[in-house]
Amino acid sequence: MYSLRCIECGEESKEDSYNCECGGLLEVKIHLDQVDLDFKLNGKDLSVWKYRALLPVRIEPVTLKEGGTPLYRLERLEKELGIRRIYVKHEGLNPSGSFKDRGMTVGVTKAIELGRNAVACASTGNTSASMAMYAARAGLKAYVLLPAGKVALGKVAQALMHGAEVIGIKGNFDDALKIIREVCERLKIYLLNSVNPFRLEGQKTIAYEIVDEIGLPDRVVLPVGNAGNISAIYKGFKEFLELQLIDGLPKMTGIQAKGSAPIYKAFLERKEDITPVTNPETIATAIRIGNPVNARKALRAIYETKGLAEVVSDEEIISAQKLLAKNGIGVEPASAASVAGLIKLAKQGMIEKDETVVCIATGNLLKDPETAIKVCGEPKIVEASVEKVISLL
């Protein structure tokens, strides 16, 4: 059992709405006292649907086997920073290559439950790739609005190949979201941006899987764009706390890129809401967002867990991307913001030595091949001879 509630006034809403009448964001309230917990926290068979008992769907889900992503330890970085345990959860190994799949398996299932035949989103790239994939699986029409010229190549390729109708607008993500929200309302299309509370329900399973595998960490560090994921993961931990499966909450730590950091700025001033950034800019296009819709949820997650917000430069992001790559973990730039942020915070003495920290690597390296080649340089080219090749080694 569950209901949809406004996070501001507490009013209940209909299942197919995205905002309360008061304008507040909606949240799915799982009636935890009525849940039959039929899963075991034994670190085995991790997946989004292992925790179906805590997910708000009534029909068989549209699934491509999302979740169950690996948690890697970064021993060399632990030594370097003097932190007890640092893990990276590689969400880039989901079916479409980002954590968005966790949300889409629930969101697209909900679209079917509600009898919709079309879904839509505005996207910095990964939402569109994931939505196109799940819509294709479910046989739904998919419409995508992208900021033209600002989406990494791999993501556009996915959205197109999986059959979405893809439109680039001459504007940024925030403009695209505003437009698609109105289009969805007028044409009765189901909106699958993270303002859709059901998507966040899928994404909260990142928290469940972490607890399932290693128990309660002290801190979770992740990149923040539209701020859905930090809100979702926080919700997951809070539900486990309420169910007495854990006895505390990790410090939720959000990292933004310097050129698009409204949440960081609000955090510095201890505000509950943001002032939008009008021209967000960063090499990490997945978090190039100036007006995050879930800002109020995200700031609560940070304040209520005594967490932190930090900003990192594009140089710090690329350097962390390379560090992860040297540890065998291939991620796209936005994902590396988490590790870049952790390094920066550790060097400022903001992380306790005995902490267990989990960084979320949100998307796969292959999503953005152009940036990878730009920052690594093209391969050398020589004549096809053994001598010439050896001379280069």
The dihedral formed by the CA atoms of 305, 308, 314 and 317, expressed in degrees to the nearest 10 = -60
Q: Which of 69, 94, 158, 226 binds ligand PLP (CB under 6 A)?
A: 226
Residue 111 beta carbon to ligand PLP: minimum distance, rounded to whole angstroms: 19
Contact region with Zn ion (CB under 5 A), list: 8-16, 26-34, 141-149, 359-367: 8-16
Residue 343 beta carbon to ligand PLP: minimum distance, rounded to whole angstroms: 17
Residue 262 beta carbon to Zn ion: minimum distance, rounded to whole angstroms: 22
Contact yes or no for 337/256 (Cβ under 8 A) = yes
Q: Which of 228, 236, 330, 341 binds ligand PLP (CB under 6 A)?
A: 228
359 binds Zn ion (CB under 5 A): no
User: Which spans in 139-172 are helix H?
Assistant: 153-161
State the number of CA atoms in the 13 A half-sphere of 298 facing the CB.
32
Distance (Å, rounded) from C-alpha 121 to C-alpha 101? 14
Q: Of 232, 49, 264, which is closest to residue 220 (Cα–Cα)?
A: 232
Sign of CA dihedral 110, 286, 120, 21: positive
Which positions from 291 through 350 interact with ligand PLP, judged by CB under 6 A? 332, 334-335
State the number of CA atoms in the 13 A half-sphere of 294 facing the CB.
27
Q: Which is nearer to ligand PLP, 67 or 223 (CB)?
A: 223
Site map 92..131 versus ligand PLP, x via CB under 6 A: ------x-x-------------------------x-----
363 binds ligand PLP (CB under 6 A): yes
Q: Which is nearer to ligand PLP, 109 or 128 (CB)?
A: 128
Q: Which of 107, 217, 225, 259 binds ligand PLP (CB under 6 A)?
A: 225
Pick what 6 binds: ligand PLP, Zn ion, none; C-beta below 5 to 8 Å, kind-dependent: Zn ion
Q: Which is nearer to Zn ion, 85 or 300 (CB)?
A: 300
Local structure of residue 260 (DSSP, 8 states): B
24 binds Zn ion (CB under 5 A): yes
6 binds Zn ion (CB under 5 A): yes
Contact yes or no for 310/333 (Cβ under 8 A) = no
Local structure of residue 326 (DSSP, 8 states): H
Contact yes or no for 347/131 (Cβ under 8 A) = no
Length of the chain: 393
Mapping DSSP to helix (H, G, I), strand (E, B) and coil, where does residue 293 land? coil
Q: Which residues bind ligand PLP (CB under 6 A)?
A: 98, 100, 126, 194, 223-229, 286-287, 332, 334-335, 362-363
